[in-house]
Structure 1
Amino acid sequence: MPPREAVDERLEVVVSESPIAVRRRRLTPTPYTEYNPPFSDSKRLRRSLTGDMTTTAEWVQRCWQLHFGVSLSVLMFGYFANQPASKYIPIDPTLLVGQECERAFLNVLSSSLEDPFATVCCNAVNIHGICNKTTLPLGSRLSRFPEAWLIPLFPLILRWCVNRWNNTIQNNHTMVRRLVLYITMMLIRGVILYRGMNQMENYFHSTDASCWYQEYLREDQATCYGRSFDFSDHVVLYMAQILPICLAETLECLQQPPTLPPRRILSTQTMTLLTSMNGGINPDEETPPKKKCPSVRPLSVVIVFGTLYLYLITLWGSYRTTAYFHTGPEVFMGFAVSLLLQWPLYRLQCSEQPFLRYVQDWFFGK
Structure 2
Amino acid sequence: VLGLECRKAYVDVYADSIHAPGAVICCDGSDSGGAFASGLCSAEGLPLTRQLTRFPDGWLIPLVPIGLRFLAITYGKLMSGKGLGLELNGTRSDLRGMLRRLGFYALVMNFRGWILFLGLNSVEDAIVRSSLFSNSDECWHKPHLKPWQQHNPSGGGCYGREFDYSDHIVLFFGHIIPVAMFEVLYSLMVPLRLPENRAHGLSRALTVVQMCFFIYLLLTTLVSAKKTATYFHTEAEVVAGYFISFLIQVPMMYIIFTDNWKAIREFVDLPLVRQHDD
Shorter-chain TM range is 0.7 to 0.9
**Alpha-carbon RMSD:** 2.4
Report if the CA contact (8 A) 1:155-1:253 is conserved.
no
Task: Give the superposition deviation at 1:319.
Answer: 0.5
Q: Partner of 1:330 in structure 2? A: 237
TM-score (norm. length: structure 1)? 0.61
1:351 alignment partner, one of 258, 269, 275: 258
Match of 2:123 among 190, 195, 200: 200
Q: 1:275 matched to which residue of 2?
A: none
Q: Find the aligned partners of 1:255 and 1:263 in 2 and give their Cα distance.
A: 18
| Letter of the 2:26 counterpart | C
Does the Cα contact within 8 Å between 2:191 and 2:203 map onto a contact in 1? no
Q: Which residue of 2 aligns with 1:45?
A: none
Question: C-alpha distance in 1, partners of 2:218/2:266?
Answer: 27
Q: Once the 2 structures are TM-superposed, how far is the Cα of residue 295 of structure 1 from its aligned partner? A: 9.0
Say which structure, 1 or 2, has more relative contact order (CA 8 Å, 6+ apart): 1
- Taking the aligned partners of 2:12 and 2:65, their CA distance within structure 1 comes to 40
Residue pair 2:190, 2:270 contacting (<8 A) in 1 also: no
Question: Which letter does structure 2 place at the counterpart of 1:239?
Answer: F
Q: Which runs of 5+ in 1 are unaligned?
A: 1-95, 265-292
Residues in 1 aligned to 2:16 and 2:254: alpha-carbon distance in whole angstroms: 46
Aligned residues: 241
The within-5 A match list for 1:112-261 is 112-126=17-31, 128-165=38-75, 166=77, 167-168=83-84, 169=86, 170-206=93-129, 209=136, 210-223=138-151, 224-259=158-193
On the 8 A contact 1:349/1:364 being kept in 2, the answer is no
Q: How do 1:31-110 and structure 2 match up within 5 A?
A: 96-110=1-15
Tell me the distance in 1 between the aligned counterparts of 2:184 and 2:214: 7
Scaled by the length of structure 2, what TM-score is found?
Answer: 0.79
| Alpha-carbon distance between aligned partners in 1 of 2:57 and 2:232, rounded to the nearest angstrom | 22
2:267 is matched with which residue? 362
Q: Distance in 2 between matches of 1:156 and 1:294?
A: 18
Choose 1 or 2 for highest CA Rg. 1
Look up the equivalent residue of 1:298 and give its one-letter code.
Answer: A
Aligned equivalents of 2:217, 2:195: Cα separation in 1? 29
Structure 2 counterpart of 1:146, one-letter code: P
